[in-house]
Amino acid sequence: MDLIKVRKKSLTVETIYHEGGPVANKPLKLAAACAVVANPYAGRYEPDLMPFMAELRKLGSVLAQELIDVLGREQVEVYSKAAIVGVDGEMEHGAVWHEAGGWAMRSLLGDPKAIVPSAKAVAHTGFRLMVPLHYIHASYVRSHYNSMEIGIQDAPRPKEILFALLMGTGGRIHARLGGLSKENVSVHDGQR
């Protein structure tokens, strides 16, 4: 049974040249690929969400590839994932994206070490969500802690879920707060 019914998709790319300081030598690009899908469990309790999670892997791969195509695989330094569940659903319906979306990005990016951060909410149509981003190879690279807003004006409707994957080409423009640098990442820094 096909549990994934996509109503619409969006791809947003932000290009950041400066944050009030000098213009960066290389602009930062942040991108979010979103898909709005029908929630097959809206309005009822379903004890087994595993089939939905398994089918979402394909959607995760499609969205991750869209981001890689727009940013360039070798350029990706930050990532994240998010879900906004319409009000007839439950938080767990968005949590299925942890494995499906995270697996897809890791697989296509060559299995980076850092956990994929996330945000999720059960919310009304048009809700906007701030999503954390961090370095793909180590969770503690402070210069790469960032966020991006996602949302679509007419989504999710009460019986829908908006799933999103996010990637970016670097850390914050003008990052200067010390901590572990990406050049000094060693074994296990991504998992502590």
Mapped onto helix, strand or coil, the DSSP state of residue 166 is strand
Cβ atoms of residues 139 and 111 within 8 Å? no
% pLDDT > 70, the chain: 97
Confirm whether 179 is domain-assigned: yes
Q: What is the pLDDT of residues 125-181, one digit of tens each?
A: 999 999 999 999 998 999 999 999 999 999 999 999 999 999 999 999 999 999 888
Q: Determine the Cα–Cα distance for residues 126 and 129; give it in Å rounded to an integer.
A: 10
Confirm whether 48 is domain-assigned: no
Show the beta-strand stretches assigned E in 22-177: 28-38, 78-86, 118-123, 129-135, 146-150, 160-168
Confirm whether 15 is domain-assigned: yes
Domain of 69, CATH number, reads: 3.30.1330.110
Confirm whether 47 is domain-assigned: no
Confirm whether 189 is domain-assigned: no
Which amino acid does the sequence have at 89? G
Q: What is the pLDDT of residues 164-173, one digit of tens each?
A: 999 999 999 9
* Count of C-beta atoms within a 10 Å radius of residue 58: 12
Counting the structural domains of the chain, the total is: 1
Confirm whether 102 is domain-assigned: yes
Task: Find the domain containing 115 and state its range.
Answer: 6-42+53-184
Tokens of 116: 């994929």
Q: What is the pLDDT of residues 25-59, one digit of tens each?
A: 999 999 999 999 999 999 999 999 999 999 999 99
Confirm whether 192 is domain-assigned: no
